[in-house]
Amino acid sequence: MAASSLASRAVASLSPSISTGASRDDAGSSSVVGFHKRSSAFTGRRVRISSGHGSSAAHGRRSCVVAATAAPVKESPPKIADALVTREEGLELYEDMILGRCFEDMCAQMYYRSKMFGFVHLYNGQEAVSTGFVKALKKDDYICSTYRDHVHALSKGVPARQVMSELFGKATGCCRGQGGSMHMFSKEHRLLGGFAFIGEGIPVATGAAFNTKYSREVLKDLSVDAVTLAFFGDGTCNNGQFFECLNMAALWKLPIVYVVENNLWAIGMDHFRATSVPEIWKKGEAFGMPGVHVDGMDVLKVREVAKEAIARARRGDGPTLVECETYRYRGHSLADPDELRKPEQKNKYAVRDPIAAFKKYLLENGLASEADLKAIEKKIDEIVEDAVEFADASPLPPRSQLLENVFADPRGFGIGPDGKYRCEDPAFTAGTAEV
């Protein structure tokens, strides 16, 4: 793809008439010209979405798999030449989205059973963005998220067990129970967080991208070609750090993609009430980078744009701003009564469920059978069940863990009155020393 293709699309695309929701129609206007007609599985036909009851009834927990209960879609013989993904890729994408949905539904159940606490922000409805982008990355690439980070962590490869344990506040969590829902980190999987304040992850992501450039140009290590993705929402796009980082990334051509998950709401603040120019993708141009708008409910469209933006970054051509039009089916957090969003808007997006749409696509294009997909759903059900059991059975962090990770170098606790470094005091790691 020519480097200018993203830029030309941004300029040439129709400005989607983004108003108070009425005209955000099912065709899913997208600047990915030429693809959406073929990949779109949206027909406007209503499908009812309900939770299935699966094999975990014995444990008193409902299966979390979301299954469309409309008339089953006819399976077709493979139309491989027309399809935008291979069967393998398709199944991988489907599995990842199902994992995201299932995991989040289980989080809701566990929260209401007092297994997890505090602020928990669920990702239901936005799976196409995480799957579409993160599955287009290489293992060494970085991602940086916000407080709505469970599914980003799962897509990147953090085991469900570790994420669930972290949510339960157990010592086996990915952050030893010290981070919680809003602070998922994984060094192994290159997940740079998990941040509670909006916008504060964007500079961190920009720094990781700077490191790639530094490694190549100063350290002369051309084997380093890691691209960084920064995920954040519509509310963040009115925050200073967003603009400051777009400027620096464009200035220094950093290998980063800024992914806006525009779900139209920042807690109870309607995007159109908060933003003078609601088309976020337009703001890329102000900083000299391509700004792309994509239908965030369609995993194949997202993946298409993602691959191009990531390739552009990896080539050294600089950053891209991608606005994904998406929606969260649940409230801002599990504590949000979600009273402000109108049922009409919610229903409009319910029929555009990315999982149902992709399932339809796979079946209609003969890439998978009902049985294949059922098998995946069952597999994920078991993974999530197992994650809960593991988290339940895991130990709580002992008191001695309290001071362990405050400093990378524990000499930072200083020299005590007895002349020894405080961390040398045996009582220190038993958790009984005073600091």
Site residues, another protein (CB under 8 A): 142, 144, 173-180, 183, 185-187, 192-197, 200, 202-211, 213-215, 217-219, 240-241, 244-245, 247-248, 251, 404-409, 411-419, 421-422
**Identity of the residue, 82 or 217, whose beta carbon is nearer to another protein in the bound complex:** 217
Nearest distance in Å: CB 339, another protein? 30
**Identity of the residue, 130 or 206, whose beta carbon is nearer to another protein in the bound complex:** 206
Q: Is the peptide bond before 431 cis (omega within 30 degrees of 0)?
A: no
Task: Give yes or no for a contact between 179 and 166, defined as CB atoms under 8 angstroms apart.
Answer: yes
**Could you give the dihedral angle defined by the CA atoms of residues 6, 10, 12 and 16, in that order, rounded to the nearest 10 degrees?**
140
Nearest Cα to Cα of residue 205 among 156, 255, 279, 161 = 255
Nearest distance in Å: CB 189, another protein? 10
d(CA 407, CA 412): 6
Q: Got the DSSP string for 142-188? A: EEE--SS-HHHHHHHT--HHHHHHHHHT-TTSTTTTSS-TT---BTT
**Identity of the residue, 175 or 376, whose beta carbon is nearer to another protein in the bound complex:** 175
**Identity of the residue, 250 or 388, whose beta carbon is nearer to another protein in the bound complex:** 250
Nearest distance in Å: CB 352, another protein? 34
Q: Which amino acid is at 65?
A: V
On the 0-12 / 13-18 / 19+ scale of CB atoms within 10 A, 297 is: buried
Partnered with residue 293 across adjacent β-strands are 323
- Non-local (6+) Cβ contacts of 261 within 8 A are 126, 129, 148, 231, 232, 233, 234, 296, 324, 326
**Identity of the residue, 215 or 345, whose beta carbon is nearer to another protein in the bound complex:** 215
Nearest distance in Å: CB 145, another protein? 13
Nearest distance in Å: CB 362, another protein? 36
Nearest distance in Å: CB 190, another protein? 8
- Strand 265-266 relative to strand 256-262, pairing: unpaired
**Identity of the residue, 209 or 363, whose beta carbon is nearer to another protein in the bound complex:** 209
**Identity of the residue, 41 or 208, whose beta carbon is nearer to another protein in the bound complex:** 208
Nearest distance in Å: CB 165, another protein? 11
Nearest Cα to Cα of residue 10 among 28, 31, 34, 41 = 31
**Identity of the residue, 133 or 413, whose beta carbon is nearer to another protein in the bound complex:** 413
d(CA 91, CA 376): 8
By three-state DSSP, how is residue 305 classified?
helix
Nearest distance in Å: CB 185, another protein? 4
CA distances from 409 to 84, 177, 200, 275, 316 (A): 50, 20, 25, 44, 36
**Identity of the residue, 161 or 422, whose beta carbon is nearer to another protein in the bound complex:** 422
Nearest distance in Å: CB 157, another protein? 14
Nearest distance in Å: CB 164, another protein? 15
On the 0-12 / 13-18 / 19+ scale of CB atoms within 10 A, 346 is: middle
d(CA 181, CA 148): 8
Task: Give yes or no for a contact between 274 and 235, defined as CB atoms under 8 angstroms apart.
Answer: yes
Pull the structure tokens for residue 171.
Answer: 């010592």
Nearest distance in Å: CB 254, another protein? 9
**Identity of the residue, 277 or 408, whose beta carbon is nearer to another protein in the bound complex:** 408
By three-state DSSP, how is residue 192 classified?
coil
**Identity of the residue, 188 or 392, whose beta carbon is nearer to another protein in the bound complex:** 188
